[in-house]
């Protein structure tokens, strides 16, 4: 499949996992840097692509899409199956792939946002922040139990599910999630972050 893919991004942002996914898949694409510090994401021409005014934004043959989770699923389904990085349609593994990706962005992500809000307000140890921290610890326990049984999210081999889930977990660690309580998650994150496709933050 030959599609013209353009990624609008900014280094060290929520667009980084999409850049890494494109690298893992070896999908030819153009990168357009959006200077979010200068406010380029609020320009009318960018808002026409993404009304949220955020990166990442992706265009596929000129058609725009936004939301990183949607991009992960699109790239996996469109390019990942042939590369052995995404399970085929109709398989139990495909159901697990969708479930864990959504879990990371929605279920776990909700607690991440609570902790982020408390941190931004300078109150990470108040009741709000403490509750979010506890909830994240419990959710990390679920992930740790899965990774105790197998080295990667879907089994013995790395997939884009690891990148998708790991990108959310990695950011949560940055803002204070208790990864240190979960040895299997910590070991998995180390392997994930060592992959060459994760080292793509050049402009």
| 171 and 139 together in one domain | yes
| 176 and 110 together in one domain | yes
Taking the C-alpha atoms of 154, 12, 116 and 35 in order, what is their torsion angle to the nearest 10 degrees?
-130
Whether residue 202 lies inside any domain: the answer is no
| 78 and 126 together in one domain | no
| 174 and 110 together in one domain | yes
| 49 and 13 together in one domain | yes
Q: Which residues of 97-135 are buried (b: 16+ CB within 10 A; e: fewer)?
A: beebbbbbbeebbebbebbbebeeeeebeeeebeebbeb
- Higher-confidence residue: 202 or 60? 60
| 102 and 76 together in one domain | no
Q: Which of 52, 83, 114 is the last residue of a domain?
A: 83
**Mean pLDDT score of the chain:** 93
Whether residue 203 lies inside any domain: the answer is no
| 69 and 96 together in one domain | no
The 10s digit of each residue's pLDDT in 128-144 is 668 888 999 999 999 99
Domain with 140 in it: 92-197
Whether residue 187 lies inside any domain: the answer is yes
Note the pLDDT of residue 129: 67
CATH number at residue 10: 3.40.30.10
The 10s digit of each residue's pLDDT in 139-179 is 999 999 999 999 999 999 999 999 999 999 999 999 889 99
| 73 and 109 together in one domain | no
| 55 and 96 together in one domain | no
Q: Which of 32, 48, 83 is the last residue of a domain?
A: 83
Whether residue 101 lies inside any domain: the answer is yes
Whether residue 49 lies inside any domain: the answer is yes
Note the pLDDT of residue 203: 42
Q: Which of 83, 107, 132 is the last residue of a domain?
A: 83
| 128 and 54 together in one domain | no
| 78 and 96 together in one domain | no
| 70 and 13 together in one domain | yes
Average pLDDT over residues 69-77: 98
What is the count of structural domains for the chain? 2
CATH number at residue 143: 1.20.1050.10
């Amino acid at each position: 499949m030959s599609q013209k893919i353009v990624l609008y991004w900014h280094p060290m942002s929520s667009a980084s996992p999409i850049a890494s996914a494109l690298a893992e898949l070896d999908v030819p694409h153009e990168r357009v840097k959006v200077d979010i510090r200068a406010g380029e994401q609020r320009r009318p021409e960018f808002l026409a692509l993404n009304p949220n005014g955020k990166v990442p934004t992706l265009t596929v043959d000129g058609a725009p899409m936004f939301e990183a989770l949607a991009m992960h699923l699109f790239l996996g389904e469109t390019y990942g199956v042939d590369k052995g990085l995404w399970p085929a349609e109709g398989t139990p593994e495909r159901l697990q792939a969708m479930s864990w990706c959504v879990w990371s962005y929605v279920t776990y992500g909700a607690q991440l946002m609570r902790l982020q809000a408390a941190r931004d307000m300078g109150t990470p140890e108040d009741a709000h922040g403490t509750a979010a921290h506890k909830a994240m610890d419990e959710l990390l326990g679920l992930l740790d139990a899965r990774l105790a049984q197998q080295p990667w999210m879907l089994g013995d081999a790395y997939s884009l599910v690891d990148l998708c889930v790991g990108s959310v977990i990695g950011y949560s660690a940055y803002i204070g999630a208790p990864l240190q309580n979960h040895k299997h998650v910590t070991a998995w994150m180390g392997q994930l972050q060592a992959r060459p496709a994760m080292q793509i933050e050049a402009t």
